[in-house]
Structures are given as structure tokens and as C-alpha cells.
Structure 1
């Protein structure tokens, strides 16, 4: 039950972030004209998309912490209580 609860979050998060990162590679490799379009001053779309990987990773980490506190930790405490009986 505990492992299933962890997988319920981790697998979709992993698929999302892998697709998000792979899109960066596809844009850089196959569509360099899109990646080189200036967006803000000398920063182009490719740089901004690359830099966006960091906040996306932090948001996923924060979301996992919240999910863990609400679901996984509760299940872990229940398991600990059952094992003590």
C-alpha cells in the first residue's frame, strides 16, 4: 500500500519531467530556429526553456513533499502502529 502510494506520484512526475526535458532536446536539435528566437533582450527561447528546468524540478520536489506529508507519511504511521500490535 505504501509503495503503491509512492508510485502513484513518482511515475507520473517522472514521465512529465522526462517529456519536458526531452522536448528541450528536440527543440534544440530539430528546431534550432525556434530555440534561437530572442525573447527578452539577448536571451533566446532555448536559454529560457533550459533555465525553466530548474524551477520545474523544484516545483515537482515541493509537490512530492506535500504529497508525502498528506499520504505517504500517514500510511507509514499506520503501518508502524500495526506492526507494534
Structure 2
């Protein structure tokens, strides 16, 4: 699967069913030494506003991803 194929997928937390937008609106953090994805930064529209484009980000570790389906990316994090 190519990175461009992930853009339209909705990001959902398995723990509580919360939706965090589409991957196209998120940022990816990469490991500098090997280029692997380290985490996804998803906009936190429900949190306080910041000077960075008017939104804060929630960092989702790549290890929290449980399933990448046709239309959805499911992750599991308890503390969001």
C-alpha cells in the first residue's frame, strides 16, 4: 500500500469510538535513521486552540494501529 492510498481513510479509536478525521489532515512522524513511521499527529479540534494553524495535535504511536481497512484506520489508545 502506498502512502497516497491512506489519505482518504477515516481515523477511529477502537477504545471509545471517537473519530479523529482523515489521514490527509494529519502529519506523520518518521524515524530519522530508518524512515519508518513513528507516529501520526491528528488535529485535536476539541482541545484548546494554538498558534499552529489554530489547532493542537494528538500523537498516536504507529504501534497503536490495529487495522487499516478500505475506508478506515483503527487504532487503540485508552488515554484520549
What is the TM-score when the length of structure 1 is the normalising length?
Answer: 0.21
Greater helix share, structure number: 1
Greater strand share, structure number: 2
Structure showing greater Rg:
1
Structure showing greater relative contact order (alpha-carbon pairs closer than 8 Å, 6 or more residues apart): 1
